[in-house]
Amino acid sequence: MNQPSKVPSIIEMFPEDTRESAALLKQAVPLMMRHAIPPNPMHYALWYTYSKGQEPELNRRLEKITQDFDSFPAETAAKLFRDYIIRGELEEARAGQQQVIELVDDIEGDVSLSVQGSRNYQNSLEQGLAALQEPLIDDLPSVLNDLQHSTQQMQDQQEKFLYRLRAAQSEIQHLRSQLERAHLAATLDSLTHVFNRHAFTRLLEQALSKGHEGVALVMLDIDHFKQFNDQYGHPLGDRVLQHVGQLLRDLLPPRAMAARYGGEEFCVILRECHDLASVHAFAEQLRMKIQSLRIKVRRTDQVLDSITASFGFALAEAGDNVENLLTRADDALYQAKRNGRNQARPCPTQAELSA
């Protein structure tokens, strides 16, 4: 029997490739503009996939809709998004839900059998005890034999039930592993294995919701990365990003979180960090580690030793939200790049600006 083909996930449908993504962007946005379709994330995902050409049926349906309607119906866009963009995630969720339903049904059936077996055993014991209380028992061997038989049946039933419980426990552990893998896929950047931008925004919101005290944000951008990609190719650029991701994971202090913010830009949320000097020390340590990276070009054996990054950082202040803190850290990063790159610049606090 042939196994059904696995529906690709979003990560598999849209791999990390800056050049290809930029080319598809240049195709998708003009298509949406031509048909007066708002370039929101859902529409963009549809027309990005259309430009990629990997879903012929989706392309046919999009072309028919734009021919038949003056506008692009929102409910139709939502249905196409479910059917073609996130169907892998939906199918995985439905499969997991069905496994849970079947597991619960099995356990419920086993519990019912065990309960019924316990009732039968209780009835048998009551009848046997009543018989033993009679003054004269003509058939004592038969009564004892029935009690022994009932006890054996109860023991067999309990052993079967325990076996099913152990099997259910194994299935539950398997389902938990599946959920953990799905959670990681939804929150981690597939190339660098740090958090993705969506997860980063949520984590920074959570950090700030508990008060600004001790929260700091570091932004870093790999210098001249576009030129690096153009000169050495995207595969080598990806290796640089992977090395930076590894450095971030290795150097993170307790309770800190790192994320790939986009392209060659990364962010670090620091906790329990109350002064710019401490943030600066962390940024400098990471900057020096990146500067010391040595990456070999396999086809030429050339060793690259010119990888650097620029940093901007800011302490959270009272009233800060995600946008405010990002803006201040990004302003500091811009100053670092403007002043020659390969350096870490702080964003002055409001108190310093007022002094």
- The set of catalytic residues is 264
Beta carbons of 215 and 208 less than 8 angstroms apart = yes
How many Å is the Cα radius of gyration of the chain?
31
Rounded alpha-carbon distances, angstroms, from residue 299 to 226, 232, 236, 302: 20, 10, 11, 8
Closest CA to 47 of 17, 75, 24: 24
Q: Residue 52: CB partners within 8 Å, gap ≥ 6?
A: 24
Report the candidate in 292, 293, 305 with the shortest Cα–Cα distance to residue 243. 293
How far is C-alpha 64 from the geometric centre of its chain's CA atoms?
Answer: 35
8 A C-beta contact, residue 26 and residue 39: no
Return the amino acid letter for 249. Answer: R
197 phi-psi bin (left φ>0, alpha ψ -120 to 50, beta other)? alpha
Instruction: Give how far the C-alpha of residue 26 lies from the chain's centroid of Cα atoms, to the nearest Å.
Output: 28
CA–CA separation, 205 vs 200, rounded Å?
8
